[in-house]
Amino acid sequence: MQNSARYPSLHGQGVFITGGATGIGAALVRAFNEQGARVTFADLNLEAGSALVEELGGAPRFAHIDLTDTSALQQAISDADSASTLAVLINNAANDMRHRPDETSPQAWRECMAINLDAAFFAAQACAPILARRGGGSIINLSSINALLGPSNMPGYVSAKAGLIGMTKALAKDYGDLFVRVNAILPGWVVTERQLQTWLTPEEESRWMEQVALPKRLMPEDVARLALFLAASDADMITGQSFTIDGGRT
C-alpha cells in the first residue's frame, strides 16, 4: 500500500479479519499482510478468497465459512489463534441488503442481524479471552455513516450498524480490564468493485462529491490505513471510540 506508515508493533502479530475476500476486507488483508502481520480471513466467497491467497503468495490463511454459523466462526478463530497468536480482530463482514420495512419478514430481519451484528459480537466474545491471554489486543468493528444518516430502504443494515457503535462502547468497558481495546470505524461511500457494479452510478457519485468536503474517491486502502493505526500499539490508550472516515460528508 503506497504512502502507508510502518507499524513495527504489528509485525508477526496474528490478525483475524471477517469478510476479507473482497472489498474493504481484501484491502485490510493486504495492508496487514504488508506490515508483516500473520493474517487469517474468513469469508463465504471461495473463489475471491482463494484468489487473494494466491495474489499474496499463500501468506494469509483463509477460513471458508459462513460467519452466521457461530460454531464455525468460533472454530475458525481458535484455529487462527493456534496458527499465530491473535492480537487483532476486525469485524468487517456485512451484507448491505436493501429492503422496504413493510416487506420485511421476521426471518429476513433475523438474517440481516445475523451477519451485520451477531457475527461481530460472537467473534469479539471468542477473541477477548485469547487477546487477554497475551496481555491485551485490539478489536475493530466496521460500522458505517449510514448509522448516522439513516438512509431509506435498508432499516436492518442501518440498525445493525448503529448497534455496532453501541456494542463498541459496551465491550470497551467490559474488556477494558483485559486491555482489550474496542473501536469502530464509520466509512462513507467507499469505492469497491461491488459498489461500482451495484450502486455507484456516475449520477450518484457526482451527488456524493457535492456533499463531501474532500471531492475525491474514498478507497478501501484509506479505511485500511485507519485500521492499521487503531490495531497498532500507537493507539494503546484509545478505546470505545467511533472514527468517521468519509471525506467530510457528515
* Residues of this chain that bind ligand NAD (CB under 6 A): 19, 21-25, 43-45, 66-68, 92-96, 115, 142, 144, 187, 189-190, 192, 194-195
> Between 94 and 113, whose beta carbon lies closer to ligand NAD?
94
d(CA 183, CA 167): 9
Q: How far is the CB of 52 from ligand NAD (least distance, A)?
A: 10
Quick one: CA torsion of 106, 103, 146, 1, rounded to 10 degrees? 80
> Between 35 and 116, whose beta carbon lies closer to ligand NAD?
116
Of 32, 62, 157, 175, the catalytic one is 157
User: Which residue number is nearest to ligand NAD in terms of Cβ?
Assistant: 23
**Cα distances (angstroms) measured from residue 222 to each of 1, 74, 189, 217, 229:** 10, 29, 12, 10, 11
> Between 31 and 93, whose beta carbon lies closer to ligand NAD?
93
Q: How far is the CB of 192 from ligand NAD (least distance, A)?
A: 5
**Cα distances (angstroms) measured from residue 93 to each of 96, 149, 208, 231, 249:** 10, 20, 24, 17, 23
Q: How far is the CB of 133 from ligand NAD (least distance, A)?
A: 26
Any catalytic annotation for residue 157? yes
Residues labelled catalytic: 157
